[in-house]
Amino acid sequence: MVDLRDSGEPDDWPSVRPRLRPVLRPVTYGIDQLADSRPLARPAFPFVNELVAVDKPESRAIISAASLERWGVSADEAFAAARENLAAMVHPHDSDGNAILRYVDDGNAYFASWPLVPGWLASFRARYGHRRPVAFMPDIDTLIVVPDVPQLLGRMYEMAEEQYRQSPRSLSPQGYTLDADDNVIPFDHAGPHEQLPAARRARAGLATAEYGTQTRWLSATLEDHYEIPGYDLEPAYIAALNFADLADGPCTVTAWGEDVEYLLPHSDYIAFCRNTESGDIEHLFDVPFATAAEITGLTPIPGLDPPRYEIRSWPTPETLARLEQSAVILQPAG
């Protein structure tokens, strides 16, 4: 990340505006920066943010809120200008040709951001015989578009996961498609499908990776400062998000234990546990996160992304009984 104040280039809005571009980055990008120097960001997809970069001859400079103050513009103006500039760069694809299109960025094309341009991904419907297109951005320099053919999608999910895991600048293992209004959405949000387990695996894998990065940063920050600068939080256990492979597809699980204060990640399920007289940990039951949040009144910590929930006490007996009534049985795969 480059601060424009140190770039030696013009730093006024009329000069910078034509060079703005939207870029996609994992939600934890810049998490180790001080709050006032973190990149300007807004959600694009789950665990993926849209940022704004200044295109330079040999590099890209990611802007922060401080840049907006110097230019005298709002965040909305900066994002709108970046998308407008990208839309002018994006070229239409041929209506014929191979079903699989792979775009690899040389640093100037911003391919991974192209699905942000309204109508661009939807234009593939004609190429694919009205099948919906599916886009993959496993790293920040790669965009792959394929038709919604189940067998092909299965192979693409495997390939995207491998590239995501191996890339030093990974972005997402998920596939992204279109809803009924041609909005770009994660494939696991697109309804029943033969490859829905693969989509859920990608979603859970991305969530686990991003929460893993956040967990390491929060733990290191608490160890060094005994507080989290910028957040009004007392020290607590930074709970992990765990990947679980279940009979109905992959998901995420976190644990809420007795006599422990937590910063709990958002997960698919919460495993409630308590200590036995012998000192062992007893697993009580599992509850869907949304249900547990409603019963216990969990609310996200303001400004922390991906979200976490501050927990300072074990549920009362009455609340625990309600949670147990809402418990589900998680069947392992196989």
Per-residue pLDDT reduced to its tens digit, 93-105? 666 666 889 999 9
Does residue 29 belong to any structural domain of this protein? yes
Same domain, 161 and 181: yes
Q: Which of 49, 69, 89 is the last residue of a domain?
A: 89
Please check whether residue 268 is in contact with residue 330, taking contact to mean a CB–CB distance below 8 angstroms.
no
Does residue 334 belong to any structural domain of this protein? no
Q: Which of 60, 89, 118 is the last residue of a domain?
A: 89
The string of pLDDT tens digits covering residues 263-281 is 999 999 999 999 887 778 8
The string of pLDDT tens digits covering residues 2-34 is 444 445 455 789 999 999 999 999 999 998 886
Alpha helices in 48-149 (DSSP H): 65-71, 75-89, 124-127
pLDDT confidence of residue 4: 43
Instruction: Residue 212: give the domain boundaries.
Output: 205-325
| 161/225 Cα distance (integer angstroms) | 36
| 317/178 Cα distance (integer angstroms) | 45
Does residue 285 belong to any structural domain of this protein? yes
pTM given for the model? 0.92
Q: Which residues of the chain have pLDDT under 70?
A: 1-10, 34-35, 93-98, 229
pLDDT confidence of residue 97: 62
